[in-house]
Amino acid sequence: MSRRPNQAVVGQDGRSVARTVANGSVWMFGQTIAAKLVSVLGQVVLARWLLRPADFGVISIALTFSVVAGAVQQVGLREILVQRQRHFRRWANSAFWMSLSISVAVCFALILAGPLASRAFAQPALTRMLVVIGVTGILTALATVPSAKLQNEMRFGALAAVALGEGLAVTASCVAFAAAGFGPACVVLSLCFAAALRLPALWMMGRPAVRLAMGLRRWKYLVADSGFIFLSGLGMAVVSQGDYISLGLFRRAEEVGAYYFAFNLSSQLHILLSVSVITVLLSALARFRSDPVRQLRAFLSASRLLAAIGVPACLFQAALAGPIVRLLFGEKWSAAVPALSILSVGVCFRLATGPAHSMIKAQGRFREYCVFYAVYGITFAAAVAPAARAGGPILVAVIASAFMMCVDPLLIYLAIRPVGGTLKHVVSIYAGPLGASVAAVGTVAAVNAFIPPILALDLVRVTLAGILAPVIYLVIIRTCAPQLWNDAIGRIRSMINRGDGRRPDIPRADRPIPSCAPDWRVSPSVLLTNVSAR
């Protein structure tokens, strides 16, 4: 019997799993970069020429309903199928029918809620947009099982191709719908269009065995774990959308649109780096459940690499938010600049949490995950609602950024504690990149202070910072944190050499866990100082 690529060959040997993860990371990261480049271009076109800030306010409210509906529709079934990958065929049929049934019910609920939402937020367009969101949820639910099957088989090349095609379809159709005069509805229409294209592609590649019998007897066993994932998904929805809801209730659509624009722009790097890592690591860490040393090593390696790449970029974005926004999107988005700067600092701490989500799910700790996000969601909503009413978008951005700086490192600690992780490991993820980034970006900011504050010189500021900041950052990391530098270079080389027959440097379980903190050769005073997606 023929064997699908990356299926049976990766199940037993740790080196094969690690090699597949390295290859998968390249595939997923490559497609994410390509999709993001196209997405950024589409956002520039939409924000600069086709949509107004008020339109983005309506989009943010509609997508809030989409996120909440998605949490209900998915119910964590994909994560359960990945976590139970050895018994996938036993649970796939029941998971398919359960997901589809819930999605149809949610679709009807959204149709009924449309008129109420339109009146509550004073946006008549929401009625039609919620109908489209409900249909999109059904299409997404139909793709849950084939997507989980491809992920279990570690066929990341296929997943990357589908994700790239979906991203291109979303961007192209969104611009087309906006140009045709659909206004803020262009976003939900493009998501529905892309989901319709994604569905047959996943089914042709995954070919899951789904029967007409709904397997109702197994639903209750899926509900046990999926219930916790569902509740945690609702908590995540409150965290990711609570600020939009609060601003939508108390502020004008233009203010909501400016805040949504700022948060969306600040999160692009987090989406670029973390989403692909979550997809790859969830499958790999699930295979290492019986080997906590290997789990911890894979987690720390991925988190440190994410922080080393993402933290300097986020602080660069925070320092140069004004020139970047004016150059790409025009003066009409100047109101979003303060929120963008504040939120970019918070995203620095969210960047490294992608592996934490994968770790907790791979360990099957759905109850703890649920409790964490229940507490997070309640406290965030309680803090952000009065901030939206009293202070507007800037105060909401301060609250959101503060939560990311405090709560997201806590999530990392909770993820690694059962496998021997400590608070020192958490500090080691952020310490080196933050210290080097503050020094590099601070130096660039001091140099830019001598450039006159003229709009025509924004390109000079961004170009100068784009050259100086990376050079200063890399020199500091290479000199002061050689362990972090060597680990990052080693990982990049292993990805580059994945196809030349050489075996990447796979850490063995009998080797000691890497040191918690980088080997700093200078005084500690050098250290000065995030779906899905959000």
Q: Report pLDDT digits (tens) over 16-74.
A: 555 555 555 556 666 667 777 888 899 899 999 999 999 999 999 999 999 889 888 76
Higher pLDDT, 290 or 461: 461
Q: Give the residue-averaged pLDDT of 415-426.
A: 93
What is residue 174's predicted lDDT score, i.e. its pLDDT? 96
pLDDT at 508 over 70: no
Q: What is the mean pLDDT of residues 139-163?
A: 89
Q: What is the mean pLDDT of residues 360-378?
A: 87
Using pLDDT thresholds of 50, 70 and 90, give the confidence band for residue 300: confident
pLDDT at 66: 92
Res 517: pLDDT = 34
> Which tokens is 190 given?
């493009």
Give the per-residue pLDDT at 6. 41
Rounded CA separation 103/100 (Å):
5
Name the least confident of 193-197, 320-324, 400-404, 448-452. Answer: 448-452
pLDDT higher than threshold 80 for residue 400: yes
> Which residue type sits at 303?
S
Question: At residue 252, does pLDDT exceed 60?
Answer: yes
Among 249-263, 286-300, 440-454, name the most confident range: 249-263
In the chain, what's the furthest Cα-to-Cα distance?
72
What mean pLDDT comes out for the span 138-153?
92
Per-residue pLDDT for 534 more than 90?
Answer: no
Query: How much of the chain, in percent, has pLDDT values that exceed 70?
Result: 81
Going from N- to C-terminal start, the domains of the chain cover: 11-526
pLDDT for position 284: 60
DSSP 486-506: HHHHHHHHHHHGGGTTPPP-P
Least reliable range by pLDDT among 81-90, 111-120, 309-318, 368-377: 81-90
Question: What pLDDT does residue 164 have?
Answer: 86
Choice among 239-253, 292-306, 480-494 with the minimum mean pLDDT: 480-494
Q: What average pLDDT does this structure show over 320-338?
A: 92
Q: Tell me, what's the pLDDT at 29? A: 61
Say what the pLDDT of residue 276 is: 56
Q: Kindly report the average pLDDT of the chain as a whole number.
A: 82
3-class DSSP assignment, residue 181: coil
Using a 10 angstrom Cβ sphere, with 0-12 exposed, 13-18 middle and 19 or more buried, the burial of residue 516 is middle
For residues 111 and 512, which has the higher predicted lDDT (pLDDT)?
111
Q: What is the average per-residue pLDDT within 95-102?
A: 92
- pLDDT > 80? residue 466: yes
The per-residue pLDDT for 496 is: 59
Mean per-residue pLDDT for 440-463? 87
| Mean pLDDT, residues 522-530 | 29
Task: Examine the pLDDT at 8 and tell me if it is beyond 50.
Answer: no
Spatial distance between the Cα atoms of 243 and 128, rounded to a whole number of angstroms:
23
Side-chain-facing half-sphere of 77: CA atoms under 13 Å: 33
Region 507-522: mean pLDDT is 36
pTM value is 0.79
Q: What are phi and psi of 462, to 5 degrees?
A: -65, -40
What is the phi-psi region of residue 342: left when phi exceeds 0, alpha when psi lies from -120 to 50, beta otherwise? alpha
